[in-house]
Every structure is written in structure tokens, then in C-alpha cells.
Structure 1
Amino acid sequence: MRLLNYAYTAYVTLLLFTVLLCNRTSTGNSDPPIHIHLTWQHSDMSNTITITWQTAFSDSGNTVLYDNVSRSGDPALYRYSASGKCHTYPGASGYIHEVELTGLKPGLTYYFICGGNGGYSEERCFRTIPVNFSHLRFAVGGDCRGNWSQRDIMFRAMSEFNPDFILLVGDFVTSGNNQTQWDSFFESLHENLVGSNGFTIPIIPCLGNHEENATNYYGQFALPGNEQWYSLDIGETVHIVVLNSEANPSEEQLQWLENDLKTHENYTWKFAMFHRPPFSSSKHGCWTEGRQYWCPLFDKYHVDIVFSGHDHNYERTKPINWTASKTSPQPSYSRGTMYIVSAGLGAPLYESGTEWWTAYSRSVYHFVIVGIFANKTLNLQAKNASGATFDKVLQKTPVIPEFQPPIFLSAMMATTTLLSILLRKHSKRTACRFQKNLQTKTLKEGENY
């Protein structure tokens, strides 16, 4: 009898599962994508993009349908499609789908839906990064951790400025192994990182200490290389280096950094980002290993700005060349690097401080907006939760002339003056004879032409 009961229970369970599965696939809309976010898996930011989302089932679809005109979410109307793959990991709340779009045109708006058998998302759009831009804008921030309501406020405020992309400098959650916290974070990206222009805003993340190097991080972001340190390019103008301050800063990572910066040393603008700040006057202070291993390379290849988080406040340094001086700043940003601590997206604020390198510091929820212009100028603004600016700086790339006209002209003028003095010492007769001989010589040379 007990055996019959077991058999009956197994039969009913199988029947219910079959009904649910059939219902899910037949309706085609019971498992639509959630947690949609955009990243890059390769260095080319202008011709590629990767779309990532989550579903409850593995067979809900790995397809992106897209076009350069809106199709209002009708799957039958999109002219282009791309397929990807899905995976899961221990502790995940579903299946992660990744699809990379390649061969895109720079500076063009694309509309897309993602999904498949389980249903498609609503139509979203993004704009590829232009190579020859007149104005490029990106945002920077970090350390939202467990203050979800403040995080959402900050994400919405950042998005109002319609950045082309956002640098997130780590500590997105309080515990990297807690999937519930990750679900909240990615839901916030899905809902709030949409600009007032309607574009879904791509992100460039790096690991913080609260990510705990967890599988959850690697499982939900699609990034280049080993996903710990990598770099991205916009044409041959902007180069972005992403590093992992939670790993060994020397050996393999240091060698990679030197090779990367050397390869891109002629780029107009070079930026680096990682979690722990080499220069901070707040609670945690300076990350000395970063100063020891990485700052000399930032000096050598003149990285323009280094962005970090970790100390929950805002701080901008004066121009620093750590190789040239460990006690005083440089006279201008053309002679040194600007270091920014931007850790004000929601985590509990720390008291700000002041050191010899400090240009401005403040304990406030904030983010940073950076604008780059075709005339080789950069405008950096720190903004509070309401979008008001409380710190700003204008930076220009240095122009080094091929020669120094003032020195050359000065030498010529000095020589001419000396010759005039010597001539005045001769008699009028001698001067006339000199002029006559000079004229005769000139005429004879002219005859040979």
C-alpha cells in the first residue's frame, strides 16, 4: 500500500510539473527577462555591447532582436538578431543570459528586446559610443552597499544627466555571497539606469572588498578578459583601465598594467579605476600598496584621473606625481594625476579630512559627472543627490611645441645687435667698401644661375 502511495504521489508531482511547463511555454510570457543591464566584453566600446538578463528557467531564450528604428516590441519586425548563452551558479536566483552584439555602428541608437520562448522584454534602446565625438559624458560613483533607498535615489539622479556610461567603483552589496542583495542591486540597475532620453545606460564595474570575490559577481557581469582587470577604448582618444585592488597589485596584475598603459600611452585621455584609494584623508586612509606599485606607472604614462571608492565621502586631490614628490603637489594637472574618491552612493558616510594632497573634500552622498570635449578639454563636476554641483574643475591636455620660437628669436636678435655695434666702429669709408664688395659678390653669383 505504501508503495502504491509513493507511486501515486510521484505521478501527481510529475503531472503538475508537466502542466506548469506546458503552461509556461504555451503562454510564451510567463518567464520574461528581469535585471537587464549593459556592459562590454571586449575593449571596443563603439562597435559592440553585451546585454545580460535573468530568467527563472534555462530554456526561456537567449535571443536579442534589435534594429536602428523602433519596432515597439513586436518580435516579427526587428531586422537583426543575435543569440548567446545562459548559465547559473550555486546560490543563484535564476539563469543568467548573455548576448553580445557586434558590428554595430558608432554613435547610433539601437532598439532591442531580449528573451525567447519564455517571453520578451519591453523594448529598450541604447546608443553606441561615437568615435569622433564633440562631447562625451560619463558618470562615476561607488559604495551603495545596503542602503537601497539612497542607492536608488542616486542612480536616478545620475541618469538624469544622460551619461554615455557609468563607472561603478565597487561595493555594490554588503555581502558578495548574499544573492538577495544582488537581486536588489540588479533590479535597481534595471529600473533606474535609464536616462531622461530613454537610453539604457551601460556600466563599467570593478570589484570592491564587499564583493568578497564571490562567484555572484562574476556570474552576473559579462566583462573582458579575466573580469578582474581589463581595459576599454573609445577610438584612439579615451582609454579606461579597470583594476582589482582586492587582488595582488604586483606580479601578474602589475605586468599587465604596464603593458596596457605602454600600448595606449598616446591616447588623449587615460583613466584608471579601482576600489581602494591611493590617496584618502578619510577613515580608511591611503592604500599604500597601490601607491607603491601602481602610482609610478600612472606617473610614467600620465594617467589623467584615477577613480576609487572605499572611503565613504568625496575627495579630489591636487595634481600628484608620486615619483617626483611624496610631500607636495605639482603646479598643474598637466604635470600630475588627479585622484578622485567617489564613494557616496548610499553606504554610511565617513567624516572627510584634509592632507597636503587635498584640493577638496566633503562628506556627502554624491556622484561625479565628467565631460570630455573635442577641443581636448575636460570638465569634472561633483554633484549631490539633487544634482547640484559642489565641486568642479576644468582640465586641458598639455600642448608641447616642437620648438621654442622665443629662444630662437632671442638668439637672432642678440646676434644682429652685436653685428650692428661692430659695424658702427668702422669708418664710413670702410663700411662703403664692405657694401661694395658684398654687392659685387652677389652680382657674380647671380650670373651663374
Structure 2
Amino acid sequence: MQKLLFLLLLSTTAIVVAQEKQKIAFGPYIQQMGTKDATICWSTLESTPTITDQEGNVKTIGEYKHHKIHLGELEPNTTYNYDVLNDGSDEGKGTLTTYPDEAIPFNFAVTGDSRNRHDVHAKIVAKIMETNPRFIINSGDLVANGRSISDWEAFFEVNKEFMKNTPYYPVLGNHEKDSPYYYDLFDLPNNEKYYYFTVGDALFIVLDSEGKQISQPEFVSDKNSDAFWRDAFSEYFTTQKKWLEQVLELNKEAGFVFIFQHKPLYSAMKNRMAEAEETRKFWGDIFERHKVQVFLNGHDHHYHRATKNGVHYITSAGAGAPLYDIEVELPETKKSSKIEHFVNVQINKKNAFLYVTDINGNEIETIEIKRRK
């Protein structure tokens, strides 16, 4: 079914401003898709402040105004054309398809650590677009520096054509730096740091492995450094863990459960193995106990899959950041590869297939997941 939907700018002031003020800088792009609702976001350039260093070098910084409109009373599994400018141009146009209200086959994409090699990121996005996913989840470190607006300008330029037609769900990584830009640019469920959504009878949970952006004061000694970081976030992560337990219990009849966070529970890098072990101790048996099938993360710039007690722990971080060597093969390791890649997940009525594909379209591996009983 195809329906036509025009989204009009309500402010009459916007009609009389200069043409360059009307031009869309980021977007339009789709957020918070549902079976009967959706959100469309876009940003316009408002001003160009400058900052000058002591040598007289001038840097121009874009200041953007962010817009969003919430759409309701839509029909499930239905395609709509939208136009946020409605000015006769193609600039504000896109297409959205609402999620189905029943368990039908669909696919989605997973990528991670797109960061700063924009040519690689663009190739990965082009390959993902060929699979025509219902949505995409990026497992964190979307940009190199979340507090640099120029990094976000590059990110949205690479994803421009993709995001106008496909919902984009981000995960907070350490490179996002808990930036206000992240919360301005994305419109996400719950508290935006950790959230969940459903499609058909599949449950998707996004966790925050980073916490709030803080710095350790210079006066904190090495002896007290570990305690400083542990105590800084203990309440935050304990609250998040209780929330996760409740979400998994509320959605215990879901056929598939996918969980995402930035940092891994099983790391194939020597200097990150201890942190991954601490993370596993914190979460305990929560994923196994609730029969989570797949835990996906980024952070380690390669592909790595470990399995334990029925849970697949997959590191997918090959969308643009410099690649890391596979330094360790863990007892739980099933497959690893130092390669740029993405994951195309096809969900059917009885099972799901994860097609791990490299930047050239070659298959790294295919994983079959059975529907939960």
C-alpha cells in the first residue's frame, strides 16, 4: 500500500527567510519508527561562529537548528512519501515504511565504529543499501569526536541518501563523548542513552556501556584511580541493569532478542580482555537466563564472534575506524577476521540468519539463530 503525506513547515517566518536558511543541512532522516507512528528529523544552518587561535588561524563552526515532527495515525507495514519542505524541490523528500504489527519476514543491518575513514564508511553504507533493510543499528563510535560538529557533518553527508528512507538507531560509544550534539541530532526512545523497541515479535535492546562524560581530576592518585571510576558510575549502571531485567521480563514472549552496546563482553585484544571480563562479571548470567540469542557490540575494530551457553557475542566494528589485529583466540571464539564489514540479519518465522559480509560483498560467515520457544 502506498500513501502520500506532506509535512508542512508551520512557521510563516520560515517562508520569508533567505534561501540559504531554508536549505537542509542534515536530513531529512527517520527516527522512532513504529507500527502507527514515526518521527522525521532535519537540521538547518543558522549561523557560522568563528574561533581564532593565538596565531590568527580562524576556524568556522556551523551552528544548526534541529527540527522534528511526530507522525501519528499511520497504518502498519505501509509506505508513505514525505516532504518536510513542500517547496517543489526534492531536498526535503523521503520515504518511510511503518513496521508490521505481526511476525512477518524482514531484515535489518548492523554496523559499528564508522568514525573517520569516510571513504570506507561510504562503501559500507552502499553495500548495506543493497540489502534494503527495514532499519540499521550502529554499535557506537559513529564519529571520531562527538563534540566536533564537523565530524557530524561528515557522518550525515555519508548517510544522507540512506537515512532519508531508513530508520537509524545509534549506540553511545566512547568517541561520542556523551555529546549534546548526539542528543540534539537523534530522537530516541526512553532516556536516549539506553532504550528498546520491537518489530514483529523481535525485541531490540540498546545499552549504554559508557555512562556520563566526566574527567578524572589531576589530584586523584593512581592508587585511587580505579575506585574513582568504579564509584563514579556504580549507581548509573546498577539502575540500567535493573531496567534491562525488567524489559527482558516484560518481553519474555519475544521470539528473538538482540542486545547492543558499544564495549565487548569477549575481547580478542590483550589490553581489553580484563575490562571485558569485568563487564561480564557485572552482567552475570542475565543474558543466558533470559535466553538472549545475540549480543552485538563494537569498540574492537574487527569482526569477532564468541559463543557461550547459547548466546552469540559478536563484535562488529568494521565500518570506517582503523582496523585492529586479532591478538587472542579465546576458548569461546568461533570466528574472527580483521576486515571491514557489516551484518545483514534476515528474520523469518522459524529462524534468523546473520549474514556477515565484507566491504567487497564477500561472505565472512553465516549464523543461524533459532526462534525462542
Q: TM-score, normalised by structure 1?
A: 0.67
Aligned partner of 1:218 in structure 2 is 183
1:31 aligns with 2:22: yes
Aligned partner of 2:124 in structure 1 is 154
Alpha-carbon deviation of 1:250?
A: 3.0
1:271 aligns with 2:293: no
Contact persistence 2:325–2:338 (CA under 8 A) = yes
Q: Distance in 1 between matches of 2:146 and 2:21?
A: 29
User: In the alignment, residue 55 of structure 1 is paired with which amino acid?
Assistant: T
Q: Distance in 2 between matches of 1:26 and 1:256?
A: 46
1:27 and 1:214, CA in 2 relative to 1: closer, same or farther beyond 3 A?
closer
User: In the alignment, residue 304 of structure 2 is paired with which amino acid?
Assistant: E
Alpha-carbon deviation of 1:173?
A: 1.1
Aligned partner of 2:214 in structure 1 is none
1:186 and 1:104, CA in 2 relative to 1: closer, same or farther beyond 3 A?
same
Contact persistence 2:265–2:280 (CA under 8 A) = yes
Quick one: which of 166, 184, 190 aligns to 2:154?
A: 184
Q: Distance in 1 between matches of 2:158 and 2:95?
A: 17
Aligned partner of 1:70 in structure 2 is none
Q: Distance in 1 between matches of 2:95 and 2:241?
A: 37
Contact persistence 1:32–1:115 (CA under 8 A) = no
Aligned partner of 1:243 in structure 2 is 207
Contact persistence 2:30–2:166 (CA under 8 A) = no
Alpha-carbon deviation of 1:389?
A: 1.1
Unmatched 5+ stretches in structure 2: 1-12, 48-60, 212-232
1:348 and 1:256, CA in 2 relative to 1: closer, same or farther beyond 3 A?
same
Contact persistence 1:380–1:392 (CA under 8 A) = yes
Aligned partner of 2:84 in structure 1 is 114
Contact persistence 1:129–1:234 (CA under 8 A) = yes
Provide the aligned length of Structure 1 versus Structure 2: 323
Alpha-carbon deviation of 1:26?
A: 6.7
1:119 and 1:37, CA in 2 relative to 1: closer, same or farther beyond 3 A?
closer
State which drifts further: 115-124 or 343-352. Answer: 115-124
Q: Distance in 1 between matches of 2:14 and 2:244?
A: 52
Quick one: which of 325, 342, 346 aligns to 1:371?
A: 346
Q: Distance in 2 between matches of 1:395 and 1:267?
A: 14
Alpha-carbon deviation of 1:287?
A: 2.0
Identity, % of aligned pairs? 31
User: In the alignment, residue 26 of structure 2 is paired with which amino acid?
Assistant: H
Quick one: which of 38, 48, 51 aligns to 1:49?
A: 38
Aligned pairs (5 A) from 1:337-352: 337-352=311-326
Alpha-carbon deviation of 1:391?
A: 0.7
Aligned partner of 2:168 in structure 1 is 203
Aligned partner of 1:390 in structure 2 is 364
Question: Greater relative contact order: 1 or 2 (C-alpha under 8 angstroms, separation 6 or more)?
Answer: 2
Is the radius of gyration larger for structure 1 or structure 2? Answer: 1
Partner SS state of residue 85, structure 2: strand
Alpha-carbon deviation of 1:141?
A: 0.7
1:274 and 1:107, CA in 2 relative to 1: closer, same or farther beyond 3 A?
same
Alpha-carbon deviation of 1:129?
A: 1.7
Alpha-carbon deviation of 1:365?
A: 0.3
Q: Which deviations, in whole Å up to 9, do the C-alpha atoms of 1:378-427 show, x marking residues without a partner?
A: 1111101122211112222255xxxxxxxxxxxxxxxxxxxxxxxxxxxx
User: In the alignment, residue 199 of structure 2 is paired with which amino acid?
Assistant: I
Contact persistence 2:259–2:294 (CA under 8 A) = yes
Partner SS state of residue 392, structure 1: strand
Aligned partner of 1:172 in structure 2 is 142
Q: Distance in 2 between matches of 1:185 and 1:28?
A: 24
Partner SS state of residue 154, structure 2: helix
Q: Distance in 2 between matches of 1:122 and 1:250?
A: 40
Aligned pairs (5 A) from 1:349-364: 349-352=323-326, 353-364=328-339
User: In the alignment, residue 337 of structure 2 is paired with which amino acid?
Assistant: R
Alpha-carbon deviation of 1:32?
A: 2.5
Alpha-carbon deviation of 1:33?
A: 2.1
Partner SS state of residue 341, structure 1: strand
